[in-house]
Structures are given as C-alpha cells and as structure tokens.
Amino acid sequence: MDAHDLTAAYALDALAPDEAEAYERHLSQCEECREQLAELNETATALAFATVAPAPPARLRASILDAAAAERTNVVPLLRRRWVARGLAVAAAAAACIVVGLAVSLSQSSQPETVTASVVLGPNRTATLHISGLSAAPSGKTYEAWVIPKGGSPRPAGLFPGGGSTTVRLRGTVPRNAVVAVTRERAGGASTPTPPVLFSTPT
C-alpha cells in the first residue's frame, strides 16, 4: 500500500485505525505528505462550516469551563500586587506570522485590572503589538514600546495612549531574539526606557 495516496482520506478521518496508524508512521518521515496534509486538512475542516445547526445549549459552555478549571489546579492567579510579565513565545515557521502572547495581570490600589497583550511578528520581522485592558496613561504621560535587540540597547518603537484596545505597529524591525517591552514615559516619549518595565516578552 502506498501511504502517499492516503492523505485525503486521513484529512477526512476516513481511515480505519490500523490504516491511520500506518499513515502516521509514514507522515513522520515524509515532508511532502506533511505539507499536503496541512493543506487538505484545512480544506476538510471548511466542511465543518457548511453545517446548519441550532446553537449549542448554554450549559455546554459552562460545563467545559468548569471541567477545565477542575483539571488545572495550577491556574495562574489573576491578581498580582504588581505588574507581572508573563511572556511566552510560540515558535513558528517563517511563512506564517509568529504570535507571541503574553498575559499581564495586575492590581493597582483597589481596582484590579487584567491586561492582555500579544506581539505578532509578520514576514520581514515587522511586528505589531496588541494590547487591551491597559488603562489610559495619565495626563502628561504616554506608553512607549521598545525593541531591545539581544545584547543591544533599547530602541524606541512607538508611543500609544492606552485605554481600550490598542494596536501599535512597531517601528522598524524586530531582530531575532529581541525583547519587546513597554514602559510609561512622559508625554512625547523618551530615548531610553524609564523603569519599571511594565511588561516584556522575548520574541
């Protein structure tokens, strides 16, 4: 049996268990099939969107989230005394955008806030920073993004006022292994970052 011609059936989940196992063994050694499967899998999944169905019962959402919470006992606490950076990088191939997600949780005085941020690296190492939940900078202040090349000095990468959801196109490119960081600065921005770094993430 030639495993090459099983890609479409595998993408449709139309193989018997022993056939699927044999195909998966082949897949681990065949780059061509891996690429073709990625394409056909996406197309097969499009068929999911053709179905017509009523909305699922509301209890399903609650049931999933309850079960998820029960499984994970090491849930990251949402409230922290100070800004806490939680950076993580998701490695991705050059073709696709690389998404670097970081969630930041903080509480200031009695008002807890949750800030979420992500850095999306596009082709050619350009990048955008997406932030939501960050309160607007006080009068006379601004937020400033920085790109810090590995072993280099921080480079100003853009100013933004915060408040609501913000997308900042980072100035210049983000070299491999650089860190993207955000600080609060005086209006007009600074040429070097003023501590504390509110959050940062490796890329």
Residue 201 β-bridge partners: 180
In whole angstroms, give the CA distance from residue 201 to residue 87.
Answer: 4
Chain position carrying tokens 């600074």 = 190
Here the tokens at position 136 are: 């607007």
Closest CA to 168 of 180, 152, 186, 150: 180
* Long-range contacts of residues 51-57, Cβ cutoff 8 Å, at least 24 apart: none
Cβ proximity to other proteins, 154 vs 198, nearer residue: 198
Residues in touch with other proteins (CB under 8 A): 5-9, 11-16, 19, 34, 38-57, 60-61, 63-65, 67-69, 71-72, 74-76, 86, 88, 90-93, 95-101, 103, 114, 116, 118, 120, 130, 132-133, 165, 167
Q: What are phi and psi of 171, to 5 degrees?
A: -70, 140
In whole angstroms, give the CA distance from residue 10 to residue 203.
Answer: 34
Cβ proximity to other proteins, 105 vs 142, nearer residue: 105
Cβ proximity to other proteins, 25 vs 61, nearer residue: 61
Cβ proximity to other proteins, 77 vs 151, nearer residue: 77
- Closest approach of other proteins to the CB of residue 62, in Å: 10
- Side chain identity at 151, as an amino acid letter? G
Closest CA to 40 of 5, 6, 7: 7
Cβ proximity to other proteins, 88 vs 187, nearer residue: 88
Find the helix or strand (DSSP H, E) in which 10 lies: helix 7-11
How far CA 203 is from CA of 87, 91, 160, in Å, comes to 9, 9, 20
